[in-house]
Every structure is written in structure tokens, then in C-alpha cells.
Amino acid sequence: MPKPRVVTVGAGKIGSALGKVLKSNGARVDFWDAVPGKVRGQKPLADIVPGAAAVFLCLPSWCLREAGAAIAPYLSKKTFVVSVSKGLEKGTLLASDGILRQALPEGTPFVYLGGPLLADELLAGRPGVGVAASADPAALRRMKRLFAGTRLRVETSDDVPGVVWSAVLKNIYAIGLGMTEGLGWGANARGWFVAKAVEEAGGILEDLGGRRETFHGVAGVGDLVATGFSPHSKNRTLGEHWAKEGKAPFESEGQVSLPQLLEVLGHRTKKYPTLVALKETLIGRKRVRTVFGKLL
């Protein structure tokens, strides 16, 4: 049987990490990046996308529509598209599945890959567990085969909105966990924060069309714990900076997604006090110590 050929659009850390895992399983991986010179000997999308078994879009949410449109002319009916984007698009307020539903040809098999997938750990050869969500059972079976026997174990779900929104929510609540670290909260208080975050995120999933139990699994709690306690996480690190200094020297995808999530939720936001606290600190610029002190 010939080795599957995969295209990875986006040669940053997560694209490189997934490409490395796929290569370890015998796949032929072509990388492509919009940044000139980032991929040595890069071939045009017109040369590498046709006939690929899968195309992985390893990009932030604000690049996803453009990438989808770029690959669309070259996709065959047998190629499935995978997104790992964990944010929302400004203006449309759409997550990965909604963006690509508009950008890709009708009927293109789509898989969303969430879960605890810290790129630094995958690059170092450490294990990870992803949750592949799709309405297409055949695409899920093919996805599992791509990673079978590797250090990245792939679970599957048919709750696409649940897994997609879990990824968005865990980024936002991971900022809060970083804030508790910056405030010097101990394990008791941080454990309480995790419990409240899980409770709120489950309710938000139901508000947005997903299943509450999806956040209680690997796609939600698993990813939140990995992100919220990892020194490699940009969201956690941003929260720590914000608690100590009232600002951060960079933006994270969770920070960018927060005002968009609040717009999607509208008046329902007030049901979620921890989310309101993140709004008051990151958007309202209130002192983290004051706002979080009222949570406990």
C-alpha cells in the first residue's frame, strides 16, 4: 500500500509537530507557509494539494479563511481538511467549522482536531491525545489511521460544535489559570478555579449548540489542564503577566477570542461569573487581584 501524502499549511510549531508525528508513521508530508523562506524548497499549493490524502491547516483563526480559499481550487473529493485553529474570526464571529464551511467547496470532508496538543511536547517526542470531530464517519476513520501507532493518540467525536468551542473556551479560561498563578494562589484555590471553569464552560457549550459532557472529557478538561498548567502555553503565560503587571508583552488567541465570545453570548454572559471576571480584567482593565479576590 502506498504511503499517504499529507499537506501541512502553516509551518509553525504545531504544524511542524503534527508533521513530525505523521512522518514517524510513514506519511509523506509537504509543508507550505505564507512566510517567504520559512519552508526550504517550498512547492506551490497547485503542485502539492491535488491528490493529497489530507490537508492540515495549522494556523490562527484570523488566517483560516484565506488559507481555505487558497487550497479550495486544488482539492479532490477524496481529500479531507483538518483544522487545529482555536479561535474566532473577527466580524463573522465564526469558529473553524463555520469559516471553512464557507471557504471550502461544498461537501469537502472536514475534521476538527482539538485536545491537549502542546506543540513543544510533541516535538520532543512526548505523547499527546487529540480529539478529532467530524460529521463524516469516513473522514474520522481515515484520521485515526493516519496517527495509528504514533505518540499522538486520536479519539473521535461527532459533537463538532462541542469540540470546536471547547478549544476556544479552554484558551480563555487558561488565561484565568495563569492569573491565579500570577496572584500566587495555592493548589486549593487553583483547584477551585478549575472546577468553576469546567462548570461554566459546560454551560456555555450548551448555549452554543454543543454537549456539556464534551467539555468534561479530553477536548475540554484535558486541554484546559494541559494548557493552564504548562509553561509552554501562551495563554497561561499571558494571564500570569496580566496578574503581575496589568498587561502582557504579547497577545494570545484566547485574549483575541474573548470579546468575540462575549458578543456571541450577549446577555447570557452574566450567568458565568468567572468569565465576567476575565472580561473585567482583560477588557475593563480592572486590577486582577481585586476582581479575582471577589470570586472566592
| Domain CATH for 19 | 3.40.50.720
Asked which of 158, 189, 222 is the last residue of a domain, the reply is: 158
Residues 193 and 136 in one domain: no
* Max CA pair span of the chain: 62
Query: β-pairing, 152-157 with 128-133?
Result: parallel
Residues 153 and 14 in one domain: yes
Q: Is the pLDDT of residue 155 over 60?
A: yes
Residues 16 and 84 in one domain: yes
Residues 147 and 176 in one domain: no
Q: How far is CA 286 from CA 88, 139, 279, 280, 294, in A?
A: 24, 46, 9, 6, 12
Residues 21 and 54 in one domain: yes
Residues 100 and 190 in one domain: no
Q: What is the mean pLDDT of residues 77-99?
A: 94
Residues 191 and 263 in one domain: yes
Task: Name the average pLDDT for the chain.
Answer: 96
Query: What CATH number corresponds to the domain at position 181?
Result: 1.10.1040.10
Which residues span the domain enclosing 42?
A: 5-158
Catalytic residue among 20, 86, 170, 234: 170
Residues 85 and 218 in one domain: no
pLDDT given at position 197: 97
Per-residue pLDDT tens digits for 181-238: 999 999 999 999 999 999 999 999 999 999 999 999 999 999 999 999 998 899 999 9
- Evaluate whether 226 touches 116 at the Cβ level (below 8 Å): yes
Q: Is the pLDDT of residue 1 over 70?
A: no
Residues 182 and 142 in one domain: no
- From the CA atom positions of the chain, what is the Rg in Å? 19
Q: Is the pLDDT of residue 148 over 60?
A: yes
CA atoms lying within 13 Å on the CB side of residue 178: 33
- Evaluate whether 139 touches 109 at the Cβ level (below 8 Å): yes
Asked which of 128, 158, 188 is the last residue of a domain, the reply is: 158
Q: What is the mean pLDDT of residues 267-280?
A: 98
Provide the grid cell at 84.
487545529
- Evaluate whether 119 touches 17 at the Cβ level (below 8 Å): yes
Asked which of 158, 193, 218 is the last residue of a domain, the reply is: 158
pLDDT given at position 232: 86
Residues 153 and 165 in one domain: no
CB within 8 A of 194, min separation 6: which ones? 177, 224, 225, 228
Q: Is the pLDDT of residue 151 over 70?
A: yes
DSSP string, 205-267: HHHTTS-HHHHTSIIIIIHHHHHHT-TT-HHHHHHHHHHHHSS-SS--HHHHHHHHHHHHHGG
Q: In total, how many domains does the chain have?
A: 2
Residues 153 and 167 in one domain: no
Decide: helix, strand or coil at residue 116. coil
Distance CA 130, CA 132 (A): 6
Q: Is the pLDDT of residue 56 over 60?
A: yes
Place of cell 463524516: 136
CB atoms within 10 A of CB 120: 14
Q: What is the mean pLDDT of residues 80-103?
A: 95
Q: Is 170 a catalytic residue?
A: yes
Provide, rounded to the nearest whole percent, the portion of the chain with pLDDT above 90.
Answer: 96
pLDDT given at position 296: 84
Provide the grid cell at 229.
498548567
pTM of the model: 0.94
Per-residue pLDDT tens digits for 98-119: 999 999 999 999 999 999 999 9
Q: Is the pLDDT of residue 173 over 60?
A: yes
Residues 141 and 182 in one domain: no
